[in-house]
């Protein structure tokens, strides 16, 4: 049962943080280059534009879900398993989700980068 | 990619690593919090290390959102993963943990991944219906701007 809880919670972390990242990325693409916008119309306009995006708020909510799922996972298993497992799976899941939902061009270079980083994170915790 | 944009990416990397290190240090002082007594986690933010960590993580979030406003998610995430390396190094030098060969290998893999992705374009352009294959090999700097 311990394994079911642990991996269930890790899966929840991966799904929630991937959803969160995709939503936040989509929101910020809609807002546009923040640096340029700041120079043209000031910080308040930037903050207003970001906070008015429903996908930004939903993204923050998903990040909170991911955070509490992580806390739950940590209550069942060691941090040396939970942190790298969820972080490296999130890297790969993000590459897939960004390709499908954000239509990013995930070329060989980016696949290899995502896999290298995911593998590296696993080794760091070994 | 302009110099200013690389600075933002460096900010994402540094703030995340510093913030996490500070949180870890603070939470060691606070001690274990069980799920049954989860509300105690609120008082954890009164710990000065944790408070400083949260301050840095707010900086991280601002930099992260800025980066996502002009670069792809699949670019920003690997490009800023050097933070894991910084965390390992801070563990070695400030917390005096031992960094094993396996960990150095992991650090090598992450660095290679970062090198790989930053050679490529930062942002996917969505031209109205013609995907030019040669656009993929275009050098850095020409696509990220404008």
Res B34: pLDDT: 67
Asked if B81 lies within 8 A of A91 by C-beta distance, the reply is yes
Interchain CB contact of B143 with A (< 8 Å): no
Band (pLDDT 50/70/90 cuts) for residue B38 is low
A2: left (phi over 0), alpha (psi -120 to 50) or beta: alpha
Res A2: pLDDT: 74
- For every residue of A14-25, DSSP letters joined together read HHHHHHHHHHHH
Res A101: pLDDT: 92
Please compute the mean of the pLDDT values over residues B83-105 and round it to a whole number.
77
Is the per-residue pLDDT at B139 higher than 60? Answer: no
Which pLDDT tens digit goes with each residue over A67-88?
A: 888 877 877 777 667 777 888 8
What share of residues in chain B are helix, strand, coil (percent, to 5)? 70, 0, 30
Please compute the mean of the pLDDT values over residues B68-74 and round it to a whole number.
90
Interchain CB contact of B120 with A (< 8 Å): yes
Asked if A31 lies within 8 A of B69 by C-beta distance, the reply is yes
The number of CA neighbours under 13 Å toward the Cβ of A89 is: 16
CB within 8 Å of B106: residues ≥ 6 apart? A119, A120, A121, A122, A123, A124, A125, A126, B84, B88
Give the CA dihedral A84, B30, A60, A52, nearest 10 degrees. -150
The number of CA neighbours under 13 Å toward the Cβ of B131 is: 7
Res A59: pLDDT: 95
Interchain CB contact of B61 with A (< 8 Å): no
Asked if B103 lies within 8 A of A126 by C-beta distance, the reply is yes
Task: Tell me how far apart the alpha carbons of residues B138 and B24 are, in angstroms, rounded to a whole number.
Answer: 42
Res B141: pLDDT: 45
- DSSP label of B10: H
Is the per-residue pLDDT at B140 higher than 60? Answer: no
Query: Is the ipTM reported for this complex over the cut 0.85?
Result: no
And the tokens for B6?
A: 């690389």
Asked if A34 lies within 8 A of B126 by C-beta distance, the reply is no
Radius of gyration of chain B (CA): 19
Asked if B74 lies within 8 A of A117 by C-beta distance, the reply is no
Place of tokens 């190094």: B89
Q: B106 CA to chain A: closest CA distance, Å?
A: 4
How far from B69 is each of A25, A93, B46, CA to CA, in Å? Answer: 7, 21, 33
Asked if A123 lies within 8 A of B103 by C-beta distance, the reply is yes
**Contact in structure between A119 and A78 (CB atoms under 8 Å):** no
pTM: 0.78
**Nearest Cα to Cα of residue B116 among B88, B78, B145, B70:** B78
Q: B66 CA to chain A: closest CA distance, Å?
A: 6
Res B135: pLDDT: 44
Number of domains in chain A: 1
Band (pLDDT 50/70/90 cuts) for residue B8 is very high
Coil, strand or helix: which one is A105? Answer: coil
Which pLDDT tens digit goes with each residue over A31-50?
A: 888 888 888 888 888 888 89
Place of tokens 């899966």: A11
Domain membership of residue A108 as a residue range: 2-125
Least confident of A62-66, B26-30, B137-141: B137-141
């Amino acid at each position: 049962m311990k394994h079911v809880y642990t991996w269930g919670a890790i899966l929840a972390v991966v799904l929630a943080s991937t959803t969160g990242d995709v939503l936040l990325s989509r929101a910020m693409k809609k807002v546009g280059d923040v640096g340029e916008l700041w120079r043209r119309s000031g910080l308040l306009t930037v903050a207003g534009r970001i906070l008015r995006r429903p996908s930004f708020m939903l993204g923050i909510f998903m990040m909170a879900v991911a955070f509490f799922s992580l806390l739950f996972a940590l209550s069942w298993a060691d941090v040396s398993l939970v942190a790298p497992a969820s972080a490296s799976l999130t890297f790969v899941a993000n590459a897939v989700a960004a390709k499908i939902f954000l239509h990013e061009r995930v070329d060989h270079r980016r696949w290899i980068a995502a896999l290298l980083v995911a593998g590296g994170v696993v080794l760091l915790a070994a | 990619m302009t110099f200013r944009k690389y600075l933002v990416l460096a900010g994402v990397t540094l703030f995340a690593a510093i913030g996490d290190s500070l949180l870890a240090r603070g939470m060691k002082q606070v001690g274990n919090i069980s799920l049954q007594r989860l509300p105690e986690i609120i008082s954890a933010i009164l710990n000065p290390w944790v408070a400083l960590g949260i301050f840095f993580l707010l900086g991280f979030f601002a930099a992260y959102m800025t980066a996502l406003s002009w670069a792809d998610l699949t670019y920003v995430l690997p490009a800023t993963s050097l933070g894991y390396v910084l965390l390992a190094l801070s563990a070695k030098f400030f917390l005096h943990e031992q960094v094993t060969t396996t960990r150095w290998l992991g650090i090598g893999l992450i660095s290679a991944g970062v090198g790989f992705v930053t050679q490529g374009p930062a942002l996917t352009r969505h031209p109205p219906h013609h995907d030019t294959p040669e656009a993929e090999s275009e050098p850095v700097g020409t696509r990220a701007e404008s």
